[in-house]
Amino acid sequence: MPLLHISMRAGKPEAYRQAILDGLYCAMREALNVPEGDEFMTISELSPANFRCGNAYGVKRSDDAVLIQITVFASRTPEQKKALYRRIAELLGDNPGIRPEDIFVNVLDAPAENWSVGNGVAQFA
């Protein structure tokens, strides 16, 4: 049950944004065994004045940087997360053509009782 928030500079065409969503969904299906149809993702497009990425940690980022925050059940292993990072970089590199240096991923672990996927019910608690 991942929940994704993607932040990027405004101005990319719809096909570019859809390729990001499709690539992330594919990477999660492969690396985290996310079920089919489990797609809860948003993209926020920000003006240059409201979006800043530095070049810390020896990574030279461009204006095409994408910040991806993924909240998941606190059950994923470090190996699964590493596989996810690699697969995201591969898929988003292929389409829409984002450089690996411009892909910033943060995975947040949340206990199952912190989720309600509808109807006011804690389905996983």
Q: What angle do CA 32, 120, 106 make, to 5 degrees?
A: 30
Tell me, what amino acid is at 98? I
Rounded CA separation 79/8 (Å): 27
Structure tokens at 59: 């990574």
Per the listing, tokens 């997360």 go with 81
Tell me, what amino acid is at 66? V
Instruction: Name the band, by pLDDT with cuts 50, 70 and 90, for residue 1.
Output: confident
Express each pLDDT in 55-94 by its tens digit: 999 999 999 999 999 999 999 999 999 999 999 999 999 9
Express each pLDDT in 17-41 by its tens digit: 999 999 999 999 999 999 999 999 9
Per the listing, tokens 């993607």 go with 6
Catalytic residues: 2
Cis status, amide bond into 96, omega within 30 of 0 = yes
Structural domains of the chain sorted by starting position, each given as residue range(s) with its CATH number in brackets = 2-53+62-114 (3.30.429.10)
